Structure 1
Amino acid sequence: MKKIYSLFAFLSLFMLSGCGVYNFTGASTIDAKTFQVNFFHNNADLVEPGIDRDFTLALQDLIMNQTNLNLVSNGGELVYEGEIVDYRITPMTATADQQAAQNRLTIRVMVRFTNKKKETDDFEKTFEFYYDFPGTSLPTGSVLNEAIKTIFERITQDIFNESLAKW
Protein backbone atom coordinates (compact mmCIF):
# COMPACT_ATOMS: atom_id res chain seq x y z
CA MET A 1 0.00 0.00 0.00
CA LYS A 2 2.88 2.34 0.80
CA LYS A 3 4.28 1.80 -2.73
CA ILE A 4 0.98 2.89 -4.28
CA TYR A 5 0.98 6.14 -2.25
CA SER A 6 4.60 6.78 -3.19
CA LEU A 7 3.88 6.14 -6.85
CA PHE A 8 0.81 8.40 -6.71
CA ALA A 9 2.80 11.18 -5.01
CA PHE A 10 5.61 10.89 -7.58
CA LEU A 11 3.16 11.01 -10.52
CA SER A 12 1.35 13.99 -9.00
CA LEU A 13 4.60 15.93 -8.61
CA PHE A 14 5.64 15.05 -12.15
CA MET A 15 2.31 16.19 -13.59
CA LEU A 16 2.21 19.42 -11.58
CA SER A 17 5.76 20.37 -12.55
CA GLY A 18 4.61 20.66 -16.16
CA CYS A 19 2.03 23.28 -15.22
CA GLY A 20 4.62 25.85 -14.20
CA VAL A 21 5.53 26.85 -17.73
CA TYR A 22 2.03 27.06 -19.16
CA ASN A 23 0.92 30.47 -20.32
CA PHE A 24 -2.76 31.14 -21.10
CA THR A 25 -2.01 33.73 -23.80
CA GLY A 26 0.60 31.57 -25.48
CA ALA A 27 3.03 34.49 -25.33
CA SER A 28 6.71 33.74 -25.64
CA THR A 29 8.77 36.65 -24.36
CA ILE A 30 12.18 34.89 -24.77
CA ASP A 31 13.48 36.05 -21.38
CA ALA A 32 12.65 39.67 -22.20
CA LYS A 33 11.67 41.81 -19.24
CA THR A 34 10.79 45.10 -20.93
CA PHE A 35 8.95 46.42 -23.96
CA GLN A 36 8.42 49.83 -25.47
CA VAL A 37 5.77 51.12 -27.81
CA ASN A 38 6.91 54.20 -29.68
CA PHE A 39 4.27 56.73 -30.73
CA PHE A 40 2.43 55.62 -33.88
CA HIS A 41 2.08 58.79 -35.99
CA ASN A 42 -0.94 59.19 -38.23
CA ASN A 43 0.42 59.46 -41.79
CA ALA A 44 -2.88 58.62 -43.51
CA ASP A 45 -4.23 60.93 -46.21
CA LEU A 46 -7.46 61.36 -44.21
CA VAL A 47 -6.55 62.29 -40.64
CA GLU A 48 -8.86 61.58 -37.72
CA PRO A 49 -7.51 63.54 -34.73
CA GLY A 50 -6.43 61.50 -31.73
CA ILE A 51 -6.39 58.02 -33.24
CA ASP A 52 -2.58 57.94 -33.19
CA ARG A 53 -2.57 58.38 -29.40
CA ASP A 54 -5.48 55.95 -28.98
CA PHE A 55 -3.75 53.26 -31.02
CA THR A 56 -0.44 53.66 -29.17
CA LEU A 57 -2.22 53.34 -25.81
CA ALA A 58 -4.32 50.38 -26.98
CA LEU A 59 -1.19 48.44 -28.01
CA GLN A 60 0.56 49.26 -24.73
CA ASP A 61 -2.47 48.18 -22.70
CA LEU A 62 -2.88 44.89 -24.56
CA ILE A 63 0.76 43.88 -24.07
CA MET A 64 0.72 44.89 -20.39
CA ASN A 65 -2.50 42.93 -19.80
CA GLN A 66 -1.39 39.75 -21.59
CA THR A 67 2.25 39.52 -20.48
CA ASN A 68 4.35 40.22 -17.42
CA LEU A 69 6.60 42.60 -19.36
CA ASN A 70 7.36 46.07 -18.01
CA LEU A 71 6.63 49.10 -20.17
CA VAL A 72 9.61 51.44 -20.62
CA SER A 73 9.95 54.67 -22.59
CA ASN A 74 13.34 53.74 -24.11
CA GLY A 75 15.81 50.87 -24.17
CA GLY A 76 13.12 48.18 -24.31
CA GLU A 77 14.10 44.64 -25.24
CA LEU A 78 10.98 44.37 -27.41
CA VAL A 79 10.24 47.48 -29.48
CA TYR A 80 7.06 48.29 -31.39
CA GLU A 81 7.06 51.25 -33.74
CA GLY A 82 5.34 52.32 -36.91
CA GLU A 83 2.59 54.53 -38.25
CA ILE A 84 -1.03 54.61 -39.26
CA VAL A 85 -0.78 54.56 -43.04
CA ASP A 86 -4.42 54.45 -44.12
CA TYR A 87 -7.75 55.66 -42.77
CA ARG A 88 -10.59 55.55 -45.27
CA ILE A 89 -14.34 55.36 -45.49
CA THR A 90 -15.72 53.48 -48.48
CA PRO A 91 -19.34 52.88 -49.56
CA MET A 92 -19.89 49.11 -49.69
CA THR A 93 -23.45 48.73 -50.94
CA ALA A 94 -25.85 51.12 -52.61
CA THR A 95 -29.59 51.56 -52.66
CA ALA A 96 -31.68 51.85 -55.82
CA ASP A 97 -31.44 55.64 -55.69
CA GLN A 98 -27.61 55.58 -55.63
CA GLN A 99 -27.25 56.23 -51.90
CA ALA A 100 -24.81 54.30 -49.71
CA ALA A 101 -26.65 51.60 -47.79
CA GLN A 102 -23.51 50.53 -45.95
CA ASN A 103 -20.12 52.16 -45.41
CA ARG A 104 -16.85 50.66 -44.28
CA LEU A 105 -14.17 52.33 -42.17
CA THR A 106 -10.77 50.72 -42.79
CA ILE A 107 -7.59 51.44 -40.84
CA ARG A 108 -4.17 50.11 -41.85
CA VAL A 109 -1.11 50.24 -39.56
CA MET A 110 2.51 49.56 -40.52
CA VAL A 111 4.39 47.95 -37.62
CA ARG A 112 8.11 47.39 -37.14
CA PHE A 113 8.83 44.93 -34.34
CA THR A 114 12.34 44.51 -32.96
CA ASN A 115 13.25 41.75 -30.53
CA LYS A 116 16.70 42.49 -29.11
CA LYS A 117 16.83 39.02 -27.52
CA LYS A 118 16.04 37.10 -30.71
CA GLU A 119 16.58 39.03 -33.93
CA THR A 120 15.01 36.33 -36.11
CA ASP A 121 11.63 37.41 -34.66
CA ASP A 122 11.97 40.96 -36.06
CA PHE A 123 9.42 41.94 -38.70
CA GLU A 124 7.94 44.84 -40.61
CA LYS A 125 4.34 44.18 -41.54
CA THR A 126 1.06 45.91 -42.29
CA PHE A 127 -2.04 45.12 -40.22
CA GLU A 128 -5.52 46.14 -41.33
CA PHE A 129 -9.09 45.75 -40.20
CA TYR A 130 -12.47 47.35 -40.92
CA TYR A 131 -15.84 48.18 -39.42
CA ASP A 132 -19.10 48.34 -41.37
CA PHE A 133 -21.80 50.84 -40.41
CA PRO A 134 -25.14 51.88 -41.95
CA GLY A 135 -25.01 54.38 -44.79
CA THR A 136 -27.50 56.54 -42.92
CA SER A 137 -25.02 56.98 -40.04
CA LEU A 138 -22.16 59.42 -40.06
CA PRO A 139 -18.76 58.22 -38.82
CA THR A 140 -18.91 60.53 -35.81
CA GLY A 141 -19.69 60.24 -32.13
CA SER A 142 -20.65 56.82 -30.85
CA VAL A 143 -20.53 55.21 -34.33
CA LEU A 144 -16.92 56.36 -34.81
CA ASN A 145 -15.91 55.43 -31.26
CA GLU A 146 -17.31 51.90 -31.63
CA ALA A 147 -15.68 51.50 -35.04
CA ILE A 148 -12.25 52.60 -33.85
CA LYS A 149 -12.48 50.49 -30.68
CA THR A 150 -13.40 47.37 -32.70
CA ILE A 151 -10.69 47.96 -35.30
CA PHE A 152 -7.97 48.66 -32.73
CA GLU A 153 -8.90 45.57 -30.68
CA ARG A 154 -8.44 43.38 -33.73
CA ILE A 155 -5.26 45.03 -35.03
CA THR A 156 -3.53 45.09 -31.64
CA GLN A 157 -4.42 41.43 -31.04
CA ASP A 158 -3.05 40.53 -34.48
CA ILE A 159 0.19 42.41 -33.69
CA PHE A 160 0.45 40.61 -30.34
CA ASN A 161 -0.13 37.23 -31.99
CA GLU A 162 2.48 37.91 -34.69
CA SER A 163 5.14 39.21 -32.31
CA LEU A 164 4.70 37.14 -29.14
CA ALA A 165 2.08 34.41 -29.45
CA LYS A 166 3.35 33.00 -32.78
CA TRP A 167 -0.13 31.84 -33.75
Structure 2
Amino acid sequence: MARPRSLPDADVFSALRHLLAAGGDKAVSFASVARVTGLAGASLVQRYGSRDGMIRAALLAAWDGLDALTETAAAEAESAQGFLKALGGGTPGAGDVALLAADFRDAALRARAEAWRARVEALLTARLRDPEAAAILFAAWQGQALWQMAGGKGFRLKDAVKRLG
Protein backbone atom coordinates (compact mmCIF):
# COMPACT_ATOMS: atom_id res chain seq x y z
CA MET A 1 0.00 0.00 0.00
CA ALA A 2 1.32 3.43 -0.92
CA ARG A 3 2.19 6.02 1.70
CA PRO A 4 -0.16 8.99 2.03
CA ARG A 5 1.25 12.04 0.28
CA SER A 6 -0.04 14.39 2.93
CA LEU A 7 -1.66 14.37 6.32
CA PRO A 8 -3.01 17.35 8.25
CA ASP A 9 -0.77 18.67 11.02
CA ALA A 10 -3.49 17.84 13.55
CA ASP A 11 -3.24 14.13 12.67
CA VAL A 12 0.56 14.18 12.86
CA PHE A 13 0.43 16.01 16.19
CA SER A 14 -2.10 13.55 17.60
CA ALA A 15 0.15 10.62 16.68
CA LEU A 16 3.16 12.40 18.13
CA ARG A 17 1.37 13.10 21.43
CA HIS A 18 0.35 9.43 21.65
CA LEU A 19 4.00 8.46 21.22
CA LEU A 20 5.04 10.94 23.92
CA ALA A 21 2.36 9.69 26.30
CA ALA A 22 3.28 6.05 25.74
CA GLY A 23 7.06 6.25 25.72
CA GLY A 24 8.17 9.74 26.63
CA ASP A 25 10.55 11.97 24.74
CA LYS A 26 12.77 9.07 23.69
CA ALA A 27 9.88 7.44 21.77
CA VAL A 28 9.65 10.33 19.31
CA SER A 29 11.81 10.38 16.21
CA PHE A 30 11.14 11.12 12.58
CA ALA A 31 11.18 7.35 12.00
CA SER A 32 8.65 6.57 14.76
CA VAL A 33 6.29 9.35 13.67
CA ALA A 34 6.66 8.25 10.04
CA ARG A 35 5.82 4.67 11.06
CA VAL A 36 2.58 5.60 12.87
CA THR A 37 1.42 8.25 10.39
CA GLY A 38 2.47 6.53 7.18
CA LEU A 39 4.25 9.67 6.00
CA ALA A 40 7.81 9.55 4.73
CA GLY A 41 10.41 10.64 7.26
CA ALA A 42 11.79 13.08 4.70
CA SER A 43 8.36 14.74 4.48
CA LEU A 44 8.38 15.25 8.24
CA VAL A 45 11.88 16.70 8.14
CA GLN A 46 10.85 19.06 5.35
CA ARG A 47 7.69 20.12 7.22
CA TYR A 48 9.10 20.59 10.73
CA GLY A 49 12.85 21.02 10.25
CA SER A 50 14.01 19.14 13.32
CA ARG A 51 12.77 16.57 15.80
CA ASP A 52 12.57 19.24 18.51
CA GLY A 53 10.73 21.56 16.10
CA MET A 54 8.21 18.81 15.39
CA ILE A 55 7.63 18.16 19.11
CA ARG A 56 7.39 21.87 19.87
CA ALA A 57 4.84 22.41 17.07
CA ALA A 58 2.74 19.52 18.38
CA LEU A 59 2.80 20.80 21.96
CA LEU A 60 2.02 24.40 20.93
CA ALA A 61 -0.95 23.07 18.94
CA ALA A 62 -2.07 21.14 22.02
CA TRP A 63 -1.89 24.35 24.07
CA ASP A 64 -4.08 26.02 21.43
CA GLY A 65 -6.60 23.22 21.87
CA LEU A 66 -6.49 23.46 25.66
CA ASP A 67 -6.98 27.23 25.49
CA ALA A 68 -10.07 26.72 23.32
CA LEU A 69 -11.37 24.02 25.68
CA THR A 70 -10.83 26.38 28.63
CA GLU A 71 -12.88 29.14 27.02
CA THR A 72 -15.68 26.72 26.10
CA ALA A 73 -15.75 25.33 29.66
CA ALA A 74 -15.78 28.87 31.07
CA ALA A 75 -18.74 29.85 28.91
CA GLU A 76 -20.74 26.73 29.74
CA ALA A 77 -20.07 26.12 33.45
CA GLU A 78 -21.31 28.37 36.21
CA SER A 79 -19.69 26.67 39.20
CA ALA A 80 -16.01 26.10 39.90
CA GLN A 81 -16.64 22.36 40.11
CA GLY A 82 -18.48 22.30 36.79
CA PHE A 83 -15.76 24.34 35.14
CA LEU A 84 -12.98 21.99 36.29
CA LYS A 85 -15.01 18.93 35.36
CA ALA A 86 -15.51 20.35 31.88
CA LEU A 87 -11.76 20.92 31.61
CA GLY A 88 -10.77 17.48 32.80
CA GLY A 89 -13.71 15.20 32.25
CA GLY A 90 -12.76 12.87 29.45
CA THR A 91 -12.87 15.45 26.70
CA PRO A 92 -10.30 15.33 23.90
CA GLY A 93 -7.31 17.39 24.88
CA ALA A 94 -7.99 17.23 28.61
CA GLY A 95 -5.40 14.51 29.10
CA ASP A 96 -2.84 16.71 27.40
CA VAL A 97 -2.40 18.84 30.52
CA ALA A 98 -0.02 16.39 32.18
CA LEU A 99 1.76 15.78 28.89
CA LEU A 100 2.10 19.50 28.27
CA ALA A 101 3.49 20.04 31.74
CA ALA A 102 6.13 17.36 31.31
CA ASP A 103 8.86 19.65 29.98
CA PHE A 104 9.15 23.35 30.63
CA ARG A 105 12.71 23.80 29.34
CA ASP A 106 11.26 25.52 26.26
CA ALA A 107 10.50 29.15 27.13
CA ALA A 108 7.52 29.37 24.75
CA LEU A 109 5.91 26.24 26.19
CA ARG A 110 6.57 27.46 29.74
CA ALA A 111 4.98 30.83 28.91
CA ARG A 112 1.89 29.07 27.50
CA ALA A 113 1.59 27.02 30.70
CA GLU A 114 1.92 30.10 32.89
CA ALA A 115 -0.69 31.99 30.86
CA TRP A 116 -3.10 29.04 30.97
CA ARG A 117 -2.71 28.65 34.72
CA ALA A 118 -3.34 32.38 35.23
CA ARG A 119 -6.45 32.18 33.03
CA VAL A 120 -7.85 29.13 34.84
CA GLU A 121 -7.17 30.71 38.23
CA ALA A 122 -8.88 33.95 37.12
CA LEU A 123 -11.92 31.97 35.97
CA LEU A 124 -11.99 30.09 39.28
CA THR A 125 -11.64 33.37 41.19
CA ALA A 126 -14.69 34.72 39.35
CA ARG A 127 -16.66 31.70 40.57
CA LEU A 128 -15.26 31.43 44.11
CA ARG A 129 -14.71 35.16 44.75
CA ASP A 130 -11.39 34.36 46.46
CA PRO A 131 -8.04 34.35 44.60
CA GLU A 132 -6.30 32.29 47.28
CA ALA A 133 -9.02 29.62 47.21
CA ALA A 134 -8.80 29.60 43.40
CA ALA A 135 -5.01 29.02 43.52
CA ILE A 136 -5.40 26.23 46.08
CA LEU A 137 -8.19 24.58 44.10
CA PHE A 138 -6.14 24.77 40.89
CA ALA A 139 -3.17 23.12 42.61
CA ALA A 140 -5.36 20.43 44.18
CA TRP A 141 -7.07 19.74 40.84
CA GLN A 142 -3.76 19.40 39.00
CA GLY A 143 -2.35 17.21 41.78
CA GLN A 144 -5.41 14.99 41.64
CA ALA A 145 -5.06 14.62 37.86
CA LEU A 146 -1.39 13.70 38.21
CA TRP A 147 -1.99 11.05 40.85
CA GLN A 148 -4.97 9.58 39.05
CA MET A 149 -2.73 9.05 36.01
CA ALA A 150 -0.32 7.20 38.30
CA GLY A 151 -3.15 5.00 39.58
CA GLY A 152 -3.67 6.73 42.92
CA LYS A 153 -7.03 7.34 44.48
CA GLY A 154 -8.08 10.95 44.35
CA PHE A 155 -10.45 13.02 46.42
CA ARG A 156 -13.80 14.22 45.26
CA LEU A 157 -13.54 17.61 43.62
CA LYS A 158 -16.86 18.77 45.04
CA ASP A 159 -15.54 18.17 48.59
CA ALA A 160 -12.56 20.44 47.90
CA VAL A 161 -14.84 23.12 46.46
CA LYS A 162 -17.09 22.96 49.55
CA ARG A 163 -14.14 23.36 51.92
CA LEU A 164 -12.72 26.28 49.96
CA GLY A 165 -16.02 27.95 49.15
Considering the TM-score relative to the shorter chain, is it more than 0.5? no
Higher percent of residues as helix? 2
TM-score, L = length of structure 1: 0.24
TM-score, L = length of structure 2: 0.24
**Rg: which structure is higher?**
1
Higher percent of residues as strand? 1
